[in-house]
Structure 1
Amino acid sequence: MDSIKTKKISKDEKKLLKKMYWRSFTLYSAVTPAKQGASGFSYAMQPFLDKFYTDQESKRQAMVRQMSYFNTNLAVYPFILGVVASMEKENSEKKDFNSESISAIKTSLMGPLAGIGDSVFWGVLRTIAAGIAVSLALAGNILAPLIFLLLFNIPVQILRWQSGKMGYILGASYISELYENGLINILTKAASIVGLAMVGAMTSQMVKLDITWNMLLKGKKVLETQKMLDQIFVGLIPLIITLISFYLLKKKNISINYLIFGIIIIGIFLSLFGIA
């Protein structure tokens, strides 16, 4: 923590952090099923990329990195921006920097921080603020809605600004040290594992398909297909759908739009025939 306090940020970096803070409000302004808030993340990072990269090809690669899937809680999101910005700076200054570590760290952070942010801010702070505001509203206080907004948003915005700055300082202080000690590859591997585990957990929660077709004999149900599949492997069909979609995206270069429409059409077909 002492290094965080003593680390000095230049005037140019402070300007970049301010731009990042204001741009961070646009995270979910252009959400897509495949990328979620990737375009908002890229927009918030752009001032740093313009500053750090003079070579156009390196900048292009950095911009592509920022357009990977991203989804997390808005209150803690600037911390990830700060860490990624500091790593992009290191990457622009060191030719042997492992750029894959940037995406790995970004992916591994968004899941755990989303859980913390949702629990603390949506689950606790919002409930407390709403409880106070409702009590005031029942007492006839016309300022109750304003008080709710202030009680909820002031702590969130303070955290957003401070966490963005802290993430930038932490990255600049420790990522370089890890790299010099040869630990960055270990960190990248660990972050990749956490990121894959997080994506796997999201897949099991977000991809749903239950088979409703059952085998009947003389009007009586003799086999419940979904229960049988669950006994073999819970979530088997969603996993197969996910793996096939991944294969078509990565190996066959099928457009995400074609995949979305294809899944919708298949879903309608399965529903009409009572299969799922």
Structure 2
Amino acid sequence: MTQHINTHTPTEKTLLKQLYWRSFTLYAAVTPSKQGASGFSYAMQPFLDVFYKGDEKKRKDAMVRQMSYFNTNIAMYPFILGVVASMEKENSEKDDFNSESINGIKTSLMGPLAGIGDSVFWGVLRTLSAGIAVSLAQAGNVFAPIVFLALFNLPVQWLRFKGGELGYTLGSNYISNLYENGLINILTKAASIVGLAMVGAMTSQMVVLDIKWNMVMDGEVVMNIQEMLDQIFVGLIPLSITLFSFYLLKKKQISINYLIVGIIILGIMLSVLGIA
């Protein structure tokens, strides 16, 4: 199956329009464990209803698949939606399609595209738009706020609308070709490696626990516990907490809500006792 840009069926064009409008709900309901997963699932639902019509089991599996963790830049988000939608279409048409590759590709794209989007739109475009609007405001121009909103939002919305279409088209073409050439498993493995690297980077940046308790003799610190741990392995305790939480979540089926409450209580206790 090969598609070309601007040759989508009427149904696909309707679905792509729905993708654009539904993409605004990405962070409408955010949870610590899933971030924007519910918004992603909501945007994908029309595609799943069409692609898996008549196959309730595959449709349910796809719905569960779309509820995996997702977090990226809102301007780049529709492109990922388009790619995932095209892969779901391939999965609905091929019985031997590797459905695990869908989440692998999604995970590998959201990190790099978030970096690009944040740098270009939040770092550059927003600053330029604000600079122009501020100059107009200082000159007494009442349209300064409108100019800022237009300069910032028009490029973003154009990219959001075209990005979904581009992702859907490129996804269908290249994923299909990769599958026919037997390279889809290699791509899935590479995507998993990128995803794990991203999770590792997030863990090192977001999970912080410094030991304040030290060994003291005669009023002098004879051993700084945190420095000693850093000499063994930088970030040893945060990594241990992350791995233990994953073990409880995956192997013991402990609810994520219980884990969050438990970590909050642990943090408060360690702080009150002066340990961390």
Q: Same fold (TM over 0.5)?
A: yes
Q: Check the 8 A contact 1:230/1:236 in 2, yes or no.
A: yes
Q: Single out whichever of 132-141 and 95-104 deviates more from structure 2.
A: 132-141
Alpha-carbon shift at residue 146 of structure 1 (Å): 1.0
- Equivalent residue for 2:246? 246
Alpha-carbon shift at residue 5 of structure 1 (Å): 5.8
- Equivalent residue for 2:27? 28
- Equivalent residue for 1:138? 138
Q: Secondary structure, in 3 states, of the residue corresponding to 2:90?
A: helix
| Distance in 1 separating the partners of 2:37 and 2:233 | 32
User: What aligned pairs does 1:68-217 form with structure 2 within 5 A after superposition?
Assistant: 68-217=68-217
Alpha-carbon shift at residue 214 of structure 1 (Å): 1.3
Displaced runs of 4+ in structure 1, greater than 2 A?
A: 3-7
| Distance in 2 separating the partners of 1:259 and 1:5 | 47
Alpha-carbon shift at residue 4 of structure 1 (Å): 7.8
Residue correspondences, number? 274
Q: Deviations over 1:239-267 (max 9, x none)?
A: 00100000000000000000000000000
Q: Deviations over 1:163-193 (max 9, x none)?
A: 1100000011111111011000000011111
2:52 matches 1:43? no
| Distance in 1 separating the partners of 2:108 and 2:227 | 33
Alpha-carbon shift at residue 112 of structure 1 (Å): 0.4
TM-score (structure 1 length as normaliser): 0.97
Q: Structure 1, unaligned stretches of length 5 or more?
A: none
| Distance in 2 separating the partners of 1:166 and 1:242 | 37
| % same residue | 76
Q: Check the 8 A contact 1:133/1:145 in 2, yes or no.
A: yes
Alpha-carbon shift at residue 6 of structure 1 (Å): 4.7
User: What aligned pairs does 1:261-272 form with structure 2 within 5 A after superposition?
Assistant: 261-272=261-272
Alpha-carbon shift at residue 72 of structure 1 (Å): 0.3
For 1:28, the aligned partner's letter is Y
Q: Secondary structure, in 3 states, of the residue corresponding to 1:242?
A: helix
Q: Structure 2, unaligned stretches of length 5 or more?
A: none
| Distance in 1 separating the partners of 2:48 and 2:3 | 23
- Equivalent residue for 2:10? 11
Q: Secondary structure, in 3 states, of the residue corresponding to 1:103?
A: helix
| Distance in 2 separating the partners of 1:166 and 1:121 | 19
Q: Check the 8 A contact 2:5/2:169 in 1, yes or no.
A: no
Q: Check the 8 A contact 1:84/1:171 in 2, yes or no.
A: yes
Q: Deviations over 1:64-104 (max 9, x none)?
A: 00000000000000000000000000000000000000010
